[in-house]
Chains A and B, each alone.
Chain A
């Protein structure tokens, strides 16, 4: 029998029991669509984090210090000084250097206080974007050097109880006064609010100044284009070792993307886990397919016998039932993907970031649904093909 005829044969017998096939397909549809939705949410989150990370420059490297004696207090050791930073900055290959103010390039944390009240804020530098101002005003041009801040709603509530009262007040950050010119909505940045973080905004100049005051735990430097990062690090290391011959420990180069990567790893791991859990419904769906194929084989014993009598080989019988199972799961898979696509768009509308369906997820879901048909269809199909034509006809 040619393949197209086999396909037609399978389709005819599926059409003869539409309702039951559809009910069976339902399990597959739910399984595939939930996997698709979960993966699209995970990928969306992962891309959002990546997007934030790439806001920080990719030519940025961080040197940190690891003491041989972990109990020793780094502050006393004073392993980095402003002097070091100036020296590093004088290297030809280095564009600029400054003390690290952020963790892994993602967040800048500061503590702020207003008289006896204090809270923590994470700070972003203002880059001409439109802020979601709810009280007061946005930054104006030529304001870079003035100590001004747009506070986020949460911090403003913490400090002033009523956010509106914050406007015009002076708050203390790192022992410097900053005037609150406005309060921005906490819902502004999707990922930040998802991670429980919202941003207050300062000018870039301010953030840099701030970092020169605090103790220095690590140093960021920005490479010139085409500079060899390892060679430069050796030079930086030499400078630091020369300046601090007394410290016991080593200077280390940190991967600037480390935090982002581990964040993405965590998200990826979580997504995979949840996808596996929802994959259980796919497994249940597969068992459903196996069940209906078993029922179908025993119901159609006579048909199998007739086909064998008029010339079907056991291989064509096997193929016929396999193809039936694969069509059921394959169609279920396609409907599931479509369903999942629509659902993920709906879910995405309620989430603070867009869901993403990658081609790999699309192909993966199709392949999985076909595999489910193969795996759960093969045993009933083998049963059908091994049936003795005599017993099948004269049952």
Chain B
């Protein structure tokens, strides 16, 4: 008990034609509330696959997933969607904001897919959005479209979107990969700040430099987890 996330003996295969590729090999990790876990590894090592399995975006073939001690291995697609909405936030390398919506509407989106928050009036939702935009420092850009913002500003908006439902854990896939080092450092500072306020962060990167923000570091080599920093095994 006590772990936020616990993976037990996860196996995952990809079938390419007749060949079966073993991408995650007996993965056993546990993540605690407030951890800053960085997953490093070469491209193709399986680090993104591991993160997607952790975040229910992808499925795994064998093993068990415990979230706050509860077995959530067999959730249906709909339950996974709700789970992601309530407990998880996502930050991507390419920001992945929706171009046709304003920054405010983008950040509002997770609220609309939430069973509780979608009952709020738009005014209440926008108040909440504005609060998070202020936290990431782009409140003045709320009525702009994503294309009118710099990469760093878009990533800040994406962070606000990841936080808006007050999730337990934030998944960040190469959040600084498309940014210059200065802007990247700013983004990392923001993530680090939310981590200190208690948010669990799981970050995937191939940039070994970013491990300095992490409380735990694991490296994936050919689908096998190697612990670099902190204890992650249950």
* Chain A residues proximal to chain B, CB less than 8 Å: 1-2, 5, 9, 12-13, 15-17, 302-303, 305-316, 389-390, 393-394
Chain B residues whose CB sits within 8 angstroms of the CB of A16 once the complex forms? 99-100
A313 cross-chain contacts in B, Cβ below 8 A: 77-78, 81-82, 113
A389 and B57 within 8 A (CB): yes
Interface string of B67-105 (1 = CB under 8 A from A): 000000000011001101110011010001111110001
- Chain B residues with CB under 8 Å of A312's CB are 81, 113
Near A by CB (< 8 A), chain B positions 108-142 give 109-110, 112-114, 118-119
Instruction: Give, as a whole number of angstroms, the nearest-CB distance from A378 to chain B.
Output: 19
Known contacts A9-B112, A16-B100: A308-B81 contact under CB 8 Å: yes
Bound-complex Cα distance A313 to B100 (A)? 20
A-B residue pairs in contact (CB < 8 Å), sample of 22: A2-B119, A5-B118, A9-B112, A15-B100, A302-B96, A307-B98, A307-B109, A307-B113, A308-B81, A309-B90, A309-B96, A310-B109, A310-B161, A311-B85, A312-B113, A313-B77, A313-B78, A314-B81, A390-B52, A393-B57, A393-B92, A394-B48
Report Cα–Cα, A12/B92, bound state, in Å: 23
A17 CA to B109 CA, complexed, in Å: 20
Bound form: Cα–Cα A307–B77 in Å: 14
> Which residue of chain B has the shortest Cβ distance to A5 in the bound complex?
B112
- Contacting pair A310 B85 (CB below 8 A): yes
Whether A393 pairs with B110 at a CB distance below 8 angstroms is no
Residues in B lying within 8 Å of A, measured CB to CB: 48, 52, 55, 57-58, 77-78, 81-82, 84-86, 89-90, 92, 96-101, 105, 109-110, 112-114, 118-119, 161, 165
| Chain B contacts for A12, CB-based, 8 A | 100-101, 105
**A308 to B81, alpha carbons, bound, how many Å?**
7
Contacts of A394 in B (CB 8 A): 48
Candidates B58, B98, B100, B110; contact of A390 at CB < 8 Å: B58
Q: How far is the CA of A27 from the CA of B90 in the complex (A)?
A: 41
- Chain B minimum-CB-distance residue to A317: B81
Given contacts A5-B112, A12-B101, A393-B96, contact A310 B84 (CB under 8 A): yes
Quote the shortest CB–CB distance from B206 to chain A (angstroms).
Answer: 15
Decide if A1 touches B84 in the complex (CB within 8 Å): no
- Is B118 a contact partner of A1 (Cβ separation < 8 A)? yes
Assess the A306–B113 pair: CB atoms within 8 A: no
Which residues of chain B are near A17, meaning CB under 8 Å?
Answer: 100
Contacts of B78 in A (CB 8 A): 313-315
Contacts of A389 in B (CB 8 A): 57
Nearest-Cβ distance from residue B100 to partner chain A, whole angstroms:
3
Given A12-B101, A16-B100, A311-B114, 17 more A-B residue pairs with CB atoms under 8 Å apart are A2-B118, A2-B119, A5-B112, A12-B105, A13-B100, A16-B99, A307-B113, A310-B90, A310-B109, A310-B110, A310-B113, A314-B77, A314-B78, A390-B57, A393-B57, A393-B96, A394-B48
